[in-house]
Amino acid sequence: MNVRAEQPGPRAIGGARIFDGRAWHDGKVLEIRGSEVAALSSSAAANDVHQLPEGSVIVPGFVDLQVNGGSGILFNNDLTVSGIETICRAHRRFGTTSLLVTLITDTPENTQLAVAAGIEAAKKGIPGFAGLHLEGPHLSVARKGTHEPKLIRPMTDADLGLLLEAAKALPCLLVTLAPENAAPDQVRKLVDAGVVVSLGHSDAGIAEIRPFIEAGASMVTHLFNAMSPLQHREPGMVGAALGFGELSCGLIADGYHVDPLAIKVALKAKQGPGQIFLVTDAMSSIGWDGDRFQLNGREVFRRDGKLTLADGTLAGADIDMLSCVRFMVDRIGLELEEVLKMASVYPAQAAGLSGIGCLAAGKQADFLVLNPDLTIHASVCAGHWMEHGKVSA
């Protein structure tokens, strides 16, 4: 993979078609001031406009709200700032300029270490680090997926206190929980403190789910996976995700977690204003050549584009965001601009990350320069360029 070192980039970029997150622009110049977008103008104030290769496209950098690892590092196994930095750098190569580093269900002690590492990473301004996603441990054992059942437990007052304190120091805190092991009042307190609450890994019925939505839960974690299905007399978590406009939903678009036909049906059925957005649920395999790794003392195997436990249970995903985008265009047949929104605008909105996700004056200068074949020519994070040549997933 031919990726050059990060460096300050040009302050005015032209010669490309630009998608700002809402509409396409031709014949425009993207102006950068410091780490922010200054303007999208017909003519730049700067004398020197950097002209991109013919056929280039500028799009918002990808935003991934569920990233467990990268470059051989699984966050659960390396609860450090350097681990976070390695993960962010690994996904930057594939177009993700902002992400939530995700901790899979773990011990109370490791959860505390993860929060401490996240707070320190935020203080240090690690490029691409937008916050933490704590996926568990307050889940349903019946829908545990790859989560270690011995570590799943109800949310205690101590757990709630840790989350409330973490929310004060992190740029974003997303928590996945199940109605079976939490209470609506706890969700209400989390939401009031600025925590984004996502429902997932749950076998709950609609009557159990509704109070959590009323308490402020606004998201569903990896739609269709590890949740009660849609049935004609019991809509379950899938029905709630699609039918309640208050909820946005993450979707793993790798062809293994969700069948393409189910994706098409979900896209047609989803009620707004909440949107379906892309997540990778990526593990340590992204940017790494190994074929197995450890999670909570269990071995995860990498075979044929899938990650599984020994019993065949899917254990996260072996996919990057650029590949998810291509899958949605090539296999699902969505227009490119809608897929780009699913990879940038919609997740940023769902997580309340108002400074990223689109290209407008005052927003952080996070964007990609794509080649005509949807490979990456360069990724730009807070105005700093990483040139890739022709990088493919």
Q: Is 380 exposed, middle or buried (0-12, 13-18, 19+ CB in 10 A)?
A: buried
CA distances from 183 to 202, 236, 360, 362 (A): 13, 18, 39, 39
Please say if 330 is a catalytic residue. no
Residue 176's Cβ-side half-sphere holds a number of Cα atoms within 13 Å equal to 32
* Angle, vertex CA 65, rays to CA 373 and CA 234, nearest 5: 105
Alpha carbon 101 to its chain centroid, in Å, reads: 9
Q: Which of 281, 318, 320, 366 is catalytic?
A: 281
**And the tokens for 242?**
């699609």
- The rounded distance, in Å, linking the Cα atoms of 220 and 224 is 9
Catalytic residue list: 281
